[in-house]
Amino acid sequence: MTHPFICPNCGHRTSELDRNLGFTRQRKGCTKCGFAFLFELLDDYFPAPDAAFFVCDGEGRVIGCGKNSFAFTGLEEEDVIGQRVEQVLGLSFQNGDDPVATVLEWGVRALDKPVQVSGERDVAASAKADMFPAYDDDGGLLLVLTPDK
């Protein structure tokens, strides 16, 4: 049985039998752009063409920005690396919910969560957030922000 994977850097999707290279613990990287690791989606997921990708560590700090991140937020990768994703992107979820913490703590997906994103802008932009946990020893998450039309 194959599993769907997505590259947070370029958005390229693949189907793989395993998360690792052969019998090693080394994670598979993107064959298209060379990014160091892929995220397993568990079921088929089709991000919008204008979706922005952010990769976070187990503490919720940004460790990588991918496709459309600058176009949506106006923030360069070097401005966000090492900062908490909620703070640097100015994420504000409905009802004060914190799905980022839920994904990190429980290792579950959070899909289609309405959110306001500030980034570099004075006015927040509306978006939908999809979050996927990293299934490795370090934890972390993939945050995909799709701007509302």
CATH number for 75: 3.30.450.20
Query: What are the tokens at 77?
Result: 């990768």
Range of the domain at 62: 3-147
The span from the CA of 110 to the CA of 22, in Å, is: 30
Give 16 or 7, the one with higher predicted confidence: 7
Give 117 or 45, the one with higher predicted confidence: 117
User: For 134, how many CA atoms within 13 A lie in the half-sphere containing its CB?
Assistant: 21
What residues have CB less than 8 Å from 72, skipping those under 6 apart? 50, 52, 117, 119, 125, 127, 145, 147
pTM over cut 0.85: no
pLDDT band at 102 (very low <50, low <70, confident <90, very high): very high
- Total domain count for the chain? 1
The span from the CA of 137 to the CA of 108, in Å, is: 15
